Amino acid sequence: MNEEKSLSDNKKSRKIAFLFPGQGSQYVGMGSSFYEDFEMARNIYHEANDILGFDITKLSFEGPAEKLTQTNYTQPAILVHSFIGMKLLQNEGILPHFALGHSLGEYTSLIAGGVFDFSTALLLVKERGRLMHEVVPSDGGAMLALLGGELEKAEKLCNDIEGVLEVANYNAPGQYVLSGERKAVEQASSIAREAGFKKAVMLPVGAPFHCSLLIEASEKMSQVLESTEFSSSNIPICANVTGKLVSEASEIKELLMKQIRVSVRWESSVSSLADQNISAAIEVGPGKVLSGLNKRILKGLPVFNVENKESLESTLLALEGLE
């Protein structure tokens, strides 16, 4: 009895942040473990198929990878996977006190905060993906992760190379993402080491996100968001645009309307949790990209991930040991 009470008290005293990944984290087979092992997951995937009007379940599990990488498919696929992971955690009594989502993931964080429901979010990201896919430049555009260098050097690359090339993501100390026209991005990749970076990696994404090439998509998505009802969040949400905590419906909507075309301030978002007495963060969805970034930003904060049954079980076990 005392042990049970202690575990219950421990759950109540913990403060957990949920992290939701964005595009680039997808992989063929994501979500299949949830589908096989949990009836709730099967029901959610079937619901998503009906809402979207196409078989997101088969595409997530079987690919092909080229199609899954197209932004109009990637976005709903990742959101569904992350939403299921969140529901499974909530069923175990693990509730978020804060929610952060990287780009697309911000929509899942808004579900976590009760700003809108799953079906609304899924329809929004379906439209977001369609609009972004439609305005992809003829050369496809591209995005490049720069690792092990200073921000000033990333900004200098953008200024020195001809064509559209902008800092899209301020991810962590020494890690930045450039976005723009393919030729410009490829040129940046070819001289990244010379410019002072240890590594440069082209990202598996279907469009040049968070740069001025997507202004048209941003304007059209703003109209969609304007006509969507938002509620104030019941937990603090970190906004990508500012990297600051928000909860009021009007402010959340205003910032989300800007999100497609401006940079993701992920380092600032995570840093905003530094004084919040967080016990742990859980990345919910495909991959461990955010887990790696968070360990660079808030060193010492335990970070777990939930993307399949095995990682769910190991995270639940680890959380039991937290004070």
Catalytic residue annotation: 103, 210
- Cβ neighbors of 167 (< 8 A, separation 6 or more) are 151, 154, 155, 158, 176, 177, 178, 179, 263
Under 8 Å between Cβ of 306 and 88: yes
Taking the C-alpha atoms of residue 6 and residue 270, their distance in angstroms, rounded to an integer, is 30
Largest Cα–Cα distance in the chain? 69
CB 4 within 8 A of CB 10: no
Contact 151, 170 (CB under 8 A): yes
User: Which residue in 263, 270, 273, 268 sits closest to 241, CA to CA?
Assistant: 263
Nearest alpha carbon to residue 305 among 323, 321, 292, 320: 292
Task: Please give the Cα distance from 48 to 53 (Å, whole number).
Answer: 8
The answer to whether the beta carbons of residues 177 and 171 sit under 8 Å apart is: yes
Backbone angles phi, psi at 276, to 5 degrees: -100, 5
210: its two tokens? 């968070």
Q: Which residues contact 15 (CB under 8 A, 6 or more apart)?
A: 97, 98, 276, 277, 278, 279
Q: Which two three-digit tokens encode residue 261?
A: 């075309």
Long-range contacts of 41-49 (CB under 8 A, 24+ apart): 41/84, 41/88, 44/80, 44/83, 44/84, 44/87, 44/118, 45/80, 45/84, 47/118, 47/119, 48/76, 48/80, 48/122
